[in-house]
Structure 1
Amino acid sequence: MSRKILSILFFLVVITLSAHAETIHIATKETELVLQTAQNGRLFQLYLGPRLAVADDYNHLTANMKGKSDGQAWEAYPVSGTETYFEPAFGIRHNDGNQATVLKYVSHTTKKVSDDVTETVITLKDDLYPVQVKLFYRTFAKDNIIESWTEISHNEKKAVSINNYASSMLYWKRSQYFLTEFSGDWAKEVNMTTTPLAFGKKMVDSKLGSRANLHVSPFFTVGLGDTPRENDGQVLMGTLAWTGNFRFTFEVDNEHNLRVISGINPFASEYTLDPGKVFTTPSFIFTLSNQGTGKGSRDLQRWARNYRLKDGNGDRMTLLNNWESTGFDFNEEKLKSLIEETKYLGADMFLLDDGWFANKYPRHSDTQGLGDWAPTANKLPNGIPALVKAAKATGVKFGIWIEPEMVSAKSELFEKHPDWVIMLPNRERYYFRNQLVLDLSNPAVQEHVFNVVDHLMTENPDLAYMKWDCNSPITNIYSPYLKEKQGNLYIEYVRGLYKVLDRIRGKYPTLPMMLCSGGGGRTDYEGLRYFTEFWPSDNTDPVERLYIQWGYSQFFPAKSMAAHVTSWNHDASIKFRVDVAMQCKLGFDINIKELRAEEQTFCKEAVANYDRLKNINYDGDQYRLVSPYDGNHSAVMYVSQSKKQALVYAYDIFPRYSEILQPVQCQGLNPAAKYRVKEINLMSGNNPADAFNGKVYSGDYLMKIGLDLFTSTKLHSRILELEVVE
């Protein structure tokens, strides 16, 4: 056979292979993402939506891909520098200065991680440069969750710079799009606002580094076709698992397609990637709900308990914190008295907050001492062990506050190790809350931060809880350790934090920890791998907390949100304050002795009720019934997995005079079951609502007719316990 014929045959084989389309299905029980290669070898999104009942129907979609090789195409991981007309997912500068890359499909694998979890890995490579990108998709079939991330690597002769490195790129074609974002500030977190998306780009991002979520949270909802609603309509709900700078880009193009790009914010972070190293992006976690945000939230909450939240299916401790009672002004005897109050209240644990440490610069305010983690001798002459011992003798557990990533300029740590601090070498320092941020990209700093926890735990094996705070964003952006790789700082800081937390979890796997950051400055699902709960806000006004809890509940389960009863808002009764906090993980931060006798009794009875019923909140399905954003009232309920028990929380915030009140329809119950309704958490001398208290209703009645839960009384609340009558 002649060489010419062989060449022709080889050419025909190449044409045949290139014409063969690889179709990749990534699916939960409800949602399907379909990717397909085009003739040019590149990978495109073919479909993302509800699973089709007939598998063969997906074949009808393939015709839509023919000819899609220009800037309008829905490429799965588009790159900059070629014919991508819109925001790319990936950007790189090669050794020769070229900024273009063309990623082509090489192969893919699919494996079962467990009965319910499947992982698909797709390998893409550039023909001209030794650059590889792997796309990972992990599906959680029952929970209707998809998790996606990427791995980027290369074998060029020298380091390359990557300037875009998204975790996910998704596409939609709808007549309308509406974005709900969650923004705010200190003490006014997760304000929900919904706006339409029109032509152009809308970015939701953070550039704050450590306290990254101060102004905006790393999650969003997009209404596909209409505004997001609680119980109907199609919505995309997504969140990035990253405890640092993030960016979501929502771009509507000239053909009214929507691109949603999620990942680390590349701001000031052109990353230097050495040959042979792998850059792994954080995971983007999303669900597509065809029954509104309520269904999407329940899927996310259930997934979080089963797969992501530390000890997600475990218990949580009620607690008494000293901060609102004492501030920095306390000593050993005062704390021992509060430990006794913890026992009297019936709470599980006493939590010692800020102000217990430092000697050369004692921590009497937030101006000094941070970083010096030895107990202040004149406050605590017998150290932390004496307090842990006192708590154990009293019959409660002991927890402690730390802020190990931060340092005060007035501290021994700063005097000894200024090179451990993120700080510009040639400019005046800027302080946020009188503190600076330690450089966690530095292994020596990672060792120091780990040792803060390790020393406390080694000295006090019975220490039962840590509240890990982080009050400052990264300022004075310069790492003495990274030197010429300053573009890596924001990313390596977070990776350094994870290295520390991995060591802590490895040595103390059952230690409960609260993720705090001046309130809700850290609220992400990568951080929550290491923490059992987070602190939603320093604002504990119960009215404001109704809005804050409503916002966070879109993405997080009740047991992950710490809610404390405090003295904020004296217009609200102790009952109203407790009833709001009981929706989540209950704690108290209040001087119990200052309460009236009947209020103390109420709090003790409320804690007992909470202990008896908390698993309904913790492990049940949440239904948001009436939004505080919609008027002057709010209602939320939780239904146990068996549907045999439920709790209904109803709040009258500021009802109007002679307001016409409507019954509240329950959700999630067994329509055929009979439920006895009982009002609980009553103040002494108060009678329950006789109109329905103690009566038995069918689940069908409660869901179709409902109960008259609301009143015209300001700051009134009630909790109903529903239990199946066998």
Structure 2
Amino acid sequence: MSNDQESTDALRQELRTGETIHVDAHGWGLTWAVRDDGQLAQVGLGPNGHTAQVEVPLAFYPLAYRTWGSADPFREAALRVTHADGTLTTRLRAQALTRTALPDGEHLKIECRDELFDFNVEHNFRTHHDSGIIEQWVEIEHGESGPVLLHDYDSACQLLLAAPEAELIQFGGSGWADEWRWTTEGLHPGIRTLSSLGGVQPHLQRAPMLMLCPDGPSHEDSGTTIGMSIAWGGNTRFRVDVRPKPEPGSPSEVVLTAGANPYGAEYLLEPGQRFVTPTVAWIWSDGRSAMTDAFHSWTRARVLRDPEQSRAIVANNWEATFFDFDEDRIKGLIKQSAELDAEVFLLDDGWFGSEHPRNDDEQGLGDWEINTNKLPNGLDSLAETAEQAGIRFGIWVEPEMVNQRSRLYDDHPDWVVRDGHDPALHRNQLYLDPLLSEVTDFESNVIDQTLASAPSTSYVKWDANRPITDPGSGALPRDRQSNLFVDGVHRTWDVMRRVAEAHPSVDLMLCASGGGRSDHGTLRYFHEFWTSDNTDPVTRIRMQWACLHFFPASAVAAHVTRWGERPLGFACAVALSARFGIDLDLTSLTDGESDVLRASVEMAKRTRDLVQFGKLTRLISPTDGTDGSRAALAFIRDSDAVVFRYQIDSPTSDSAPLPQMDCFDPGLSYRVHRTELNDTVRSRDEGLHGGGGVADMVQSWPLTEALSADILEIRADGPLLRN
């Protein structure tokens, strides 16, 4: 999935018994070796894994990639296949290794072949020395007498030893509005499966990331931390298979696998067809901070569109109007947003549908012509109003979905995903079949034509508000309907790629009922994503804390709303620590709230160079530890910093002091500006301080009331003048 251009100087060598393969990710990595029987063994993993030497006979090392029928019969396999003749066993033999140089790393391809069948598996590793991330995936192709059935097809399979105190951190919640729930658990004997379903919006259920701490609890600056992300826009699965040793206190053997979730998604693979598993991006680091630095660097360099571009302040009308608006109402909100100095006005759901007007969620979806009863002068008139007011115009679309009460469904009922049953409705809508070329052409044309109707539009929010049910595609034979779950992701990505390439100057936000598509694979075609529909700032502190472990703040959209009925200033302070935006009825603000919001917009502009491009430093966690009543984090860039401090609940006796920040140069003076955001805004210049004084100021905790926050803007002012 990387954007690296590969060198043409690829070096290919045949693999022989005893040969080792070192995957070097700049300070860590892994080593595989060829056993006497031709199978690949994992010899090393970790800081010394990329230089590991074979110290005992290779037969004693674990298989690097377990296949069904050929490995430990008491462990689940990474690859499970029914071959064309019905054989269940797959036994792979290493054939060759190809190394290709990259600008900052290399691409390794390890070719394997079954000992009986023309069945070929290629292990791929792409290393990035700038970030330390390894991308890993598998490609499968065969020349058997008929199709083979892939039951399990993991992208990565690693074995490691875990201490009794080892921890697993995962991010699964109850679904909508509960994304990114932080859960820490121990490793216990048996198989722990962390999976997601839903097809279109699986990450509502569980983010496709985890952290594994095999030596015991990790901290920001210490403790072995394995961070892993499945870059896949469909269902995902981690399996953590823990086998204890009989000696008390001994480390357990852990097999960690990651990839697409094959539940209900067995794949029938034709001869000559190539199957590519999702990319898994992962790193072995010392401490959580180093893991985050790696994922932020890699996401900016290899994933995000226009990573060097500052993200705009977006004002959305949804919380203000829902479906109930007309042209005058929207133009008024555009002008008010511009007066607040927001930079994009986003018109959300409800602007389309003529025969079936989109006045609620029961009709109109799929009919992407203007609702002239609401907007008699079309989108272009709104975009012109925005341009005159000095603000950009954006639009909401949901091209993958359709209501039954729509002209599109009347004309093309065969375009929806369904089997022989009457299709079940979710949010009163159905999912268009992404395997039909006429559907994918329609979907890309929806955005092309919408943008053409208002050519100055420069922002699009792409939403998807239902999962896959009744899985069936008219493009697939009856015996391979389950291929939909894999092929559908690739075809949807094709549409997204077409849109991104056709509109390079349009910013794209990714949304799926909130954070249902929070993955590094889909994000390649977008600038940012909607973290969750839950915008209660108390919940969002914890969500964003988790999310920012893997994504830079520039990609994490955070809007100020009325959710939770918290003080507006507190909500602003939380949103300011990510990509700041507004989703409020601006006509209902009091004078004091207008002042708070205006000050927050000004602060977002002053600090986004730090928030969006700086190094994240976590100070006080709201998700783990003894004190969940507070949170604090900072963003540091060059010699400048911004620090966010939140008092979520009433202070407790367990409140510990903030850790000392060592990023401030004792030889420099810093100008410090402190802003308190609560029911009102109080801002003052704290003057010039040396590096030590600034560190002490950050470490002190002035907040004493629940739902209060302050922000310290710290800018280097020059050499410290001494008497």
Deviation, structure 1 residue 20: 4.0
Further displaced range: 497-506 or 591-600: 591-600
User: Letter of the aligned partner of 2:122 in structure 1?
Assistant: K
User: Letter of the aligned partner of 1:472 in structure 2?
Assistant: R
Deviation, structure 1 residue 669: 4.0
Which residue in the other structure is 1:208 paired with?
A: 198
For residues 176-232 of structure 1, the C-alpha deviation after alignment (integer angstroms, 9 at most, x for no partner) is 332111011211211111111122100001121111112111111111110233332
Which residue in the other structure is 2:249 paired with?
A: none
Which residue in the other structure is 2:30 paired with?
A: 33
Contact 2:194 2:238 in 1 (8 A): yes
- Mapped to 2, the partners of 1:437 and 1:376 lie a distance apart of 22
Secondary structure in 1 matching 2:385: helix
For residues 247-289 of structure 1, the C-alpha deviation after alignment (integer angstroms, 9 at most, x for no partner) is 1111013542111111111111121111111101110001111
Which residue in the other structure is 2:577 paired with?
A: 583
Contact 1:663 1:705 in 2 (8 A): no
Deviation, structure 1 residue 126: 1.5
Matched, 1:624 2:624: no
Tell me which of 514, 518, 521 is aligned to 2:513: 518
Matches within 5 A, 1:182-197: 182-184=171-173, 185-197=175-187
Which residue in the other structure is 1:113 paired with?
A: 102
Which residue in the other structure is 2:703 paired with?
A: 711
For residues 330-384 of structure 1, the C-alpha deviation after alignment (integer angstroms, 9 at most, x for no partner) is 1111111111012101011100001111112111111111111111110111211
Matched, 1:364 2:359: yes
Unaligned runs of 5+ in 2: 1-13, 246-251, 719-723
Secondary structure in 2 matching 1:288: strand
Contact 2:138 2:155 in 1 (8 A): yes
Indicate how the Cα distance of structure 1 residues 83 and 654 shifts in structure 2: closer, same or farther if over 3 A, else same: closer
- Mapped to 1, the partners of 2:464 and 2:15 lie a distance apart of 53
Indicate how the Cα distance of structure 1 residues 204 and 245 shifts in structure 2: closer, same or farther if over 3 A, else same: same
Which residue in the other structure is 1:140 paired with?
A: 128
User: Letter of the aligned partner of 1:280 in structure 2?
Assistant: V
- Mapped to 1, the partners of 2:496 and 2:57 lie a distance apart of 45
Which residue in the other structure is 1:486 paired with?
A: 481
Indicate how the Cα distance of structure 1 residues 679 and 104 shifts in structure 2: closer, same or farther if over 3 A, else same: same
User: Letter of the aligned partner of 2:94 in structure 1?
Assistant: Y
Which residue in the other structure is 1:452 paired with?
A: 446
Indicate how the Cα distance of structure 1 residues 326 and 264 shifts in structure 2: closer, same or farther if over 3 A, else same: same
Which residue in the other structure is 1:471 paired with?
A: 465
TM-score scaled by structure 2? 0.92
Indicate how the Cα distance of structure 1 residues 381 and 34 shifts in structure 2: closer, same or farther if over 3 A, else same: same
Contact 2:643 2:698 in 1 (8 A): no
Which residue in the other structure is 2:64 paired with?
A: 76
Contact 1:306 1:313 in 2 (8 A): no
Deviation, structure 1 residue 661: 6.4
- Mapped to 2, the partners of 1:376 and 1:686 lie a distance apart of 41
Contact 1:330 1:379 in 2 (8 A): yes
Tell me which of 208, 222, 229 is aligned to 1:218: 208
Which residue in the other structure is 1:128 paired with?
A: 116
User: Letter of the aligned partner of 1:403 in structure 2?
Assistant: E
Indicate how the Cα distance of structure 1 residues 483 and 617 shifts in structure 2: closer, same or farther if over 3 A, else same: same
Deviation, structure 1 residue 521: 0.9
- Mapped to 2, the partners of 1:487 and 1:183 lie a distance apart of 25
Which residue in the other structure is 1:678 paired with?
A: 673
Tell me which of 235, 238, 255 is aligned to 1:248: 238
Indicate how the Cα distance of structure 1 residues 686 and 312 shifts in structure 2: closer, same or farther if over 3 A, else same: closer
Indicate how the Cα distance of structure 1 residues 669 and 111 shifts in structure 2: closer, same or farther if over 3 A, else same: farther
Contact 1:664 1:708 in 2 (8 A): no
Which residue in the other structure is 1:725 paired with?
A: 717
Indicate how the Cα distance of structure 1 residues 83 and 548 shifts in structure 2: closer, same or farther if over 3 A, else same: closer
- Mapped to 2, the partners of 1:605 and 1:677 lie a distance apart of 17
For residues 300-330 of structure 1, the C-alpha deviation after alignment (integer angstroms, 9 at most, x for no partner) is 1121111111222222111111011111111
Matched, 1:416 2:388: no
Tell me which of 88, 100, 116 is aligned to 2:89: 100
Deviation, structure 1 residue 599: 2.6
Contact 2:404 2:430 in 1 (8 A): yes
Which residue in the other structure is 1:179 paired with?
A: 168
Deviation, structure 1 residue 66: 2.9
Tell me which of 288, 296, 305 is aligned to 1:301: 296
Deviation, structure 1 residue 677: 2.3
- Mapped to 2, the partners of 1:664 and 1:709 lie a distance apart of 11
Tell me which of 66, 73, 80 is aligned to 1:91: 80
Which residue in the other structure is 1:14 paired with?
A: none
Deviation, structure 1 residue 579: 0.9
- Mapped to 2, the partners of 1:79 and 1:660 lie a distance apart of 50
Which residue in the other structure is 2:4 paired with?
A: none
For residues 630-679 of structure 1, the C-alpha deviation after alignment (integer angstroms, 9 at most, x for no partner) is 32111010000x2x100000011112478866355335444654433221
Contact 1:28 1:142 in 2 (8 A): no
Secondary structure in 2 matching 1:556: coil
Deviation, structure 1 residue 159: 1.6
Indicate how the Cα distance of structure 1 residues 705 and 345 shifts in structure 2: closer, same or farther if over 3 A, else same: closer
User: Letter of the aligned partner of 1:708 in structure 2?
Assistant: S
Cα RMSD, aligned residues only: 2.1
Deviation, structure 1 residue 28: 1.8
Secondary structure in 2 matching 1:381: coil
Deviation, structure 1 residue 464: 0.5
- Mapped to 1, the partners of 2:276 and 2:411 lie a distance apart of 34
Which residue in the other structure is 1:275 paired with?
A: 271
Deviation, structure 1 residue 686: 5.9
- Mapped to 1, the partners of 2:400 and 2:341 lie a distance apart of 33
Contact 1:119 1:137 in 2 (8 A): yes
Unaligned runs of 5+ in 1: 1-16
Tell me which of 24, 45, 60 is aligned to 2:42: 45
Deviation, structure 1 residue 703: 5.1
Contact 2:161 2:254 in 1 (8 A): yes
Deviation, structure 1 residue 688: 5.1
- Mapped to 2, the partners of 1:144 and 1:673 lie a distance apart of 32
Deviation, structure 1 residue 682: 5.9
User: Letter of the aligned partner of 1:711 in structure 2?
Assistant: L
Contact 1:135 1:149 in 2 (8 A): yes
Secondary structure in 2 matching 1:513: strand
Matched, 1:430 2:424: yes
Indicate how the Cα distance of structure 1 residues 439 and 598 shifts in structure 2: closer, same or farther if over 3 A, else same: same
Contact 1:323 1:589 in 2 (8 A): yes
User: Letter of the aligned partner of 2:708 in structure 1?
Assistant: H
